[in-house]
Structure 1
Amino acid sequence: MVKGANVGLDELSESVDAVVVHLGWSSESGEADADASVLLLDGNGKVRGDADFYFYNNPTAPDGSVQLLGKRPTDDGNEDRVSLDLAAMPGDVERIAIAASRYGEDCFGDLSALRLTVTDPSGEALLEFSIPDAGVERAFVFGEFYRRDGRWKFRAVAQGYASGLAGLAIDFGIDVDEAEEADDESADGTDVPSAESEVVAGSVPARAPVESGAPVPPQRRPEAAPSSVTTEEGEERPARRRPRTAKKKVTLPKVAKKSLAENEAWRQARLFPASSLKNDREREMRATSVLLSVMTQVPEFGRRLTAGFGAPAGRMETFTEVSLPHGDAPKRPDGVIRVERAGRLWTALVETKTNGSPLRAEQVQDYVDVAARRGYEAVITLSNDVALDGGPLGDVKIDRRRKHRVTLWHLSWAEVTHQAQMLIRHEGVGNAAHAWLLQELLHYLRHDNSGCHGFQNMGPAWVPVRNGIDTETLCHGDQRAVEVVESWERLIRQVCLRLGGELGQRALPVQRVRRNSDAGARRAALADRLCADGRLEAEVRVEGAPGTLVIVADLRTGKLRTSMEIPPAESGYPLTWAKRLIRQLSDAPADLHVETLLEGRPNGPRGTLERLRPEPGDLLPQESDVRITGFKLSLFKGMGSSRGHAETGFIRSVYDSVDRFWSSVVVPLERRPRRRAAAGSRED
């Protein structure tokens, strides 16, 4: 589509009761990002109330008509996703504006490949719209859905706002109280958001939208909102809370209370015991029943897991060991999920595997056929494996000729653990009972005997590839190298889930590739590089971190390197920067390598922290006219040899390496002053 064009959704698909909107972008660094938002508008083009504004602080509508599904990496950047249940949309909502905004002073002109894609719940693309001319805008209305004669249509808008998310919200009739936000943060003893932070705050942008390339309108500071209001009868009441466009402050959980046990041999009673499980069949049955039961009892958790699969928001019931007719012998999927909304049923069959048990394509194919014949919507596979590119696992055929299409989805146990952890430790749930249930679920999933530990095997190609690199006999084009690259990518995605769950922040792998590049060709090229230099490399972007985390596994030397490049302080002199950095790393490991990054030169002064502590000046170049662009911090660790998840395995060594670097190096650095985005030091 082009800007200004419109199309009826019923012209694109037979069923348009629900759609998923994908907002995508990319950047040269692969790190820049933005956030999606949705506004429900009446016939006058204004929200009916502040609750009609859905963004990162208000991601879900109570009736399930809107849900922000979160981000995921793509081959050329990132995308943010929104689920819209158009059949559940209130009757007085005439338009649905789909927008996105950037953090602080960042603008969309720094991004490329801005695009909006609308798909049906099965993932089939219905339309796409690109924005090629973004400039100073900090917020964009990409497009809008609107009713016309009882039909839903879509219009490509591409309307930019230099005033950011707050200005966009105000333009559609929302009261945004940024002064109150700053006051609250100050009262809590935390930092007040600044122009450089990931907060659209500090000034209320002009209300008028701007076209791409237009000058930024003047901005003004809002007046502080009153803490109370006086009614006509003279009664004083608290002022209504207004939407905050500043992101919520995330705090890590408090230290657990001291146990009342007499000694460490005592074990707490658990709702879901795992120690008695004896074989994989028992583990699969127990894990399926535990997960599905918690999904029904904790609605926030159940909705979070099923929304991405196209399920509506409604009353959920789950079942296990259901027998369904299929030819001569009935089929018994491990579980069934049913969601009822407005008299309509959404049904998904669930096939579960634990430990290293692989999904069998023929079994999943049978469930897809059963679902198609019975009019079910989805088949969900659940195992320790991690799907690449968000697709299903295994070679299963979907009959596109059928009027009723079944969607095949895959979910990793690591993703289940991540979502439970995000809710219980960072975002909160409805009540204490829900929190306790999720805590019990987390304990079960992490138990050594549960079999639900996520990705835990580098595959049969791991040892031959390692030996081939050691003996220099691994050749370009070897398919085993491609398999190792795919396993490495799965491992890094799980590292992101683990790290993001612990920190309560988004953690995504960085992929520096061109838009629409072929994933298979990209992995083949990485496999050739592995054959040539014997290294596996990955970058991880964590929201709020001072830089990008780089992980390198050198199969020739058997070493793991975790590193991060950070910018120098905004003010002061080079010697001051070096002294401040060494002081901040006072508790870091003595074997931490510190290297000075110099403009136009491949290498700068470097040394271990142990050697540099008494002489920080050794980090400075001898030539005074060479500009310091930053510092590179690196930790090295021996690499595990085996392909599995054992203590001495490669996977465990990667986890340990990342955990050690983050806790001992990154955490102290998060308190250091950060430079402005113009200096190339902003994290996105």
Structure 2
Amino acid sequence: MHDMVKGSNIGLAALSENADSVIVSLGWASPTGEGDADVSVLLLDGHGKVRSDADFYFYNNPVAADGSVQLLGKAPAGEGSEDRIGFDLTAIPPEVERVVVAASRYEGARFGELDDLRVTLADGSGDDLLRFAIDDAGSVSAFIFGELYRRGEEWKFRAVGQGYDDGLAGLATDFGVDVDDDAEDAVPAPVGAEESPQAAGETDALREPHAGAEAGAPLEAVPAPRRSQEGPAPKKAAARPRTAKKKVTLPKAVKKSLAENDSWSEARLFPVSALKSDRDRETRATSVLLSVMAQVPEFGRRLTAAFGAPAGRMETFTEVSLPHGDSPRRPDGVIRVERAGKLWTALVETKTNGNALKPEQVQAYADIAARRGYEAVITLSNDVALEGSPLVDVKIDGRRKHKVALWHLSWAEVAHQAQMLLRHEGVGNAAHAWLLQELLHYLQHENSGCHGFQNMGAAWVPVRRGIDDETLCQGDPRLLEVVESWERLIRQVCLGLGGELGHKVLPVRRAKRGTDPGARRAEMADRLCADGRLHAEIRIEGTAGVLAITADLRTGKLRTSFDIPAPDQGYPLTWAKRLVRRLAEAPADLHVETLVEGETGGPRGTLERLRPEPGDMIPKNGAQITGFRLSLFKGMGSTRGRTESGFIRSVDDAVHRFHGSVVEALDRPVTRSAPAADRAEALG
């Protein structure tokens, strides 16, 4: 990998023969685990300005219509996170000469507060080509990491490293974007969108629940309006981009069923009742997924862009026979994407119902792909991939000129992407929305076998017993297996919660800078041996802290908790009363602990006991309050799998319960009368 310094540049063709599609990743780490930033992209013409506001891609406008730019979202990496952008360089219009890659922070946060700022660029096969590490970001709220630019027919990359004091709006304005940040709570139309009067009504429907909707009802897809047959809909002026983040309220509409009674089952496009064997489940799941990917371009592109696939016409196939030695091989599926006369091809190997991938199968497909000039092999199973811990060990022959990329998807990631499109970002076609809804129903059905990670592994029970009777020793490889399973579980919990909320939900890493994943997991394994606890932290976009979860294998208890900092102004008793009001609908068994400076802990008690006497939360010795810790406890499952009594289900239920009943309660309006000043100021 080529290391760059500020101001240097290099041609992509000199680094790879597969650089038509690239993934640019911006990364950072935070000492507290709470720091984050958001990426943005600007397409500039020969004058160094955007051609129109539609050339500005950020969280409110994440995908180019031609597929040339796609913000792929955040993923945990090392001790921090990475925000990735997919570029199809063959699709960028010829009048665009530069592509600026930047990131921004908000509410007074500065890039100088983050560690390990870096930008990396990978080619279509997933190989990292270059890296630019930044050590001097300084006190700025927006930062240009680098830029892609043309020199004749070649694309090059320049390491920029330039900061802006005025945030994302200031950066965008400097490049000619007409930013509209006046209306803080408006829900803007996508940049450059054309909208009919019916579509405008559809947007209104997204803002408010339908009349008569029931709280907590299942979310329904919002179909796109049908265009008039008499002619094109009148064009509406494109909305100016706003850097304030979108706030979307989804309708909670419930259709009245026409069934005579609850025993009637609605007919589904993808039935699951006839699935009897693992082979049936694998065949059906592969066909269902690949067919929806081909028919819903937004969804197909979302899944393949991160693998270096171009934006083009996609076709998918199942049970294809390919020659391999004495007998042909039959991968579960094939994905082909055509753009500008070029084909991108990936072989697909699928497993369901918790079955493990077979290394010899994946190795054979990698060899076939290399010989036939295919770009990738995609594995799909219930397991969640971890950085530095591959699910299968596949050797790629370095002597071959053609490189094959090996990628992995979990069924949980597939469901997450479908949820994000269907329930939060919107699908521009009613039939496409219905197809995604049918896919989600299929994936979430108990008989599909596509439930994601669902087994803590063979080491789980022996480790729990070893911790109980104190017979485990540090360095036992079974401890490391349990730690990896725990990380996979936390990743899956984040995917599920993020899909439901429509927010980024990621595990927090607090390892020292430069620590590799294997060393970090070994340290976690040693701590597990010493204290019998597994610990993780989850950051949910839009919340003021992190949700912590601890599994105590000695006591069999799960603890979910959330720390709230003390307000900068006011009196401790006012803080305590306000906190109790905000938690009016929280569970009575919620534990509230007062955090005090320089001490291990302050007063504590259940919410049920503190509601009539909030003053009991105030330290009697006058110690300074630094915040409050809210915690819920529950018993954890005893089995390693996903049964009702299983550990995996108990962790998932604990996180969802805590978020729904506690974290969300902190954001709800108070339910009883209170002084106006108290009602206006949210705790923390």
Same fold (TM over 0.5): yes
Question: 2: CA distance between counterparts of 1:50 and 1:414?
Answer: 35
Say which is worse superposed, 136-145 or 286-295, in terms of deviation: 136-145
> What residue is the counterpart of 1:666 in the other structure?
663
* Pair 1:79-2:82 in alignment: yes
**Aligned with residue 88 of structure 1, among 69, 88, 91:** 91
Structure 1 position 184, deviation (Å): 6.4
Match of 1:492 in 2: 490
| 1:648 counterpart = 2:645 | yes
Pairs within 5 Å for 1:345-364: 345-364=343-362
Verify the 8 A CA contact 2:126 2:308 in the aligned structure 1. Answer: no
Query: Mean Cα displacement is larger for which, 640-649 or 150-159?
Result: 150-159
Q: Report the Cα offset of residue 155 of structure 1.
A: 1.3
Q: Which residue of 2 aligns with 1:453?
A: 451
Amino acid at match of 1:605: P
**Which residue of the partner structure matches residue 475 of structure 2?**
477
Q: CA deviation at 1:54?
A: 1.0
1:69 aligns with 2:67: no
Secondary structure of 1:389's partner? coil
- The structure 2 residue matched to 1:636, chosen from 630, 633, 637, is 633
Query: Which consecutive residues of structure 2, in runs of 5 or more, have no partner in the other structure?
Result: 189-202, 208-234, 671-676
> In the alignment, is the contact (CA less than 8 A) between 1:567 and 1:631 conserved in 2?
yes
Kindly indicate whether residue 564 of structure 2 is the aligned counterpart of residue 566 of structure 1.
yes
Taking the TM superposition and a 5 Å limit, the aligned residue runs for 1:346-495 are: 346-389=344-387, 392-495=390-493
Stretches of structure 1 lacking an aligned partner (at least 5 in a row): 192-236
**Per-residue deviation, 1:140:** 0.9
Partner of 1:281: 279
On the 8 A contact 1:392/1:408 being kept in 2, the answer is no
Distance in 2 (CA, whole Å) between partners of 1:100 and 1:632 is 32
Does residue 313 in structure 1 map to residue 324 in structure 2?
no
- Per-residue deviation at 1:169? 0.7
Question: For residue 258 of structure 1, what is the aligned residue in structure 2?
Answer: 256
Q: Contact 1:391–1:410 (CA<8 Å) still a contact in 2?
A: no
Contact 1:141 1:160 in 2 (8 A): yes
* Secondary structure of residue in 2 paired with 1:302: helix
For 2:673, the equivalent position in structure 1 comes to none
The answer to whether the 8 A contact 1:27-1:77 is kept is: yes
Residues 620, 92 of structure 1: CA spacing in aligned structure 2 closer, same or farther, 3 A cutoff? same
Q: CA deviation at 1:50?
A: 1.0
Equivalent position SS for 1:179: coil
* Alignment pair present for 1:146 and 2:146: no
The code of the aligned residue for 2:530 comes to A
1:527, 1:264 → 2: CA distance? Answer: 49
Deviation at 1:572, TM superposition (A): 2.6
Distance 1:416 1:390, change over 3 A: farther
Contact 1:594–1:633 under 8 Å retained in 2: yes
CA contact (8 A) 1:27 1:112 kept: yes
Report how far residue 159 of structure 1 moved. 1.3
Q: Structure 1 434/188 Cα, relative in aligned 2: closer, same or farther at 3 Å?
A: closer
Q: Mean Cα displacement is larger for which, 582-591 or 640-649?
A: 582-591
Q: Secondary structure at the match of 2:274?
A: coil
Structure 2 distance, partners of 1:389, 1:62, is: 31
Asked whether the equivalents of residues 391 and 409 of structure 1 are also in contact (C-alpha less than 8 Å), the reply is no
Equivalent residue for 1:226? none
TM-score norm. by structure 1 comes to: 0.89
Structure 1's 409 and 140: CA in aligned 2 closer, same or farther, altered over 3 A?
Answer: same
* Alignment partners' CA distance in 2, 1:43 and 1:575: 61
AA partner of residue 541 (structure 2): E
Residues 278-325 of structure 1 show CA distances to partners (whole Å, capped at 9, x for unaligned) of 000000000000000111111111110111111101000000000001
Identity of aligned residues (%): 72
What residue in structure 2 maps to residue 228 of structure 1?
none
Q: What residue is the counterpart of 1:4 in the other structure?
A: 7
The change in CA–CA distance for 1:188 and 1:547 in structure 2 (over 3 A counts) is farther
Q: Note the aligned Cα RMSD (angstroms).
A: 2.2
Correspondence for 2:500 among 483, 502, 510 = 502
Q: 1:180 to 1:579 in 2, by over 3 A?
A: closer
1:248 aligns with 2:246: yes
Are 2:73 and 1:60 aligned?
A: no
1:190 CA displacement: 13
How far residue 568 of structure 1 moved from its aligned partner, in angstroms, is 2.9
Structure 1 residues 374 and 105, CA gap change in structure 2 (3 angstroms): same
Question: Structure 2 CA distance, aligned partners of 1:373 and 1:152?
Answer: 28
Name the structure 1 match of 2:553.
Answer: 555
Alignment check: 8 A CA contact 1:595 1:633 kept: yes
4+ runs of 1 displaced by more than 4 Å? 180-185, 187-191, 237-240
Tell me the amino acid that sits aligned with residue 7 of structure 1. Answer: I
Match status 1:32 vs 2:30:
no
1:48 aligned residue: 51
SS in 2 for 1:286: helix
Alignment of 1:574-589 (within 5 A): 574-589=572-587
* Structure 2 counterpart of 1:162, one-letter code: D
SS in 1 for 2:116: strand
Residue 524 of structure 1 is matched in structure 2 by 522
- Conserved in 2, the CA contact under 8 Å of 1:392 and 1:409? no
Residue aligned with 2:481, SS: helix
**2:197 aligned residue:** none
CA contact 1:139–1:162 (8 Å) conserved in 2:
yes
Q: Which amino acid aligns with 2:257?
A: S
CA distance in 2, matches of 1:313, 1:429: 17
Match of residue 229 from structure 2: none
Q: Which amino acid aligns with 1:499?
A: L
Cα deviations by residue, 1:436-488 (Å, 9 ceiling, x for unpaired): 11111111111111000000000000000000000011111110010000000
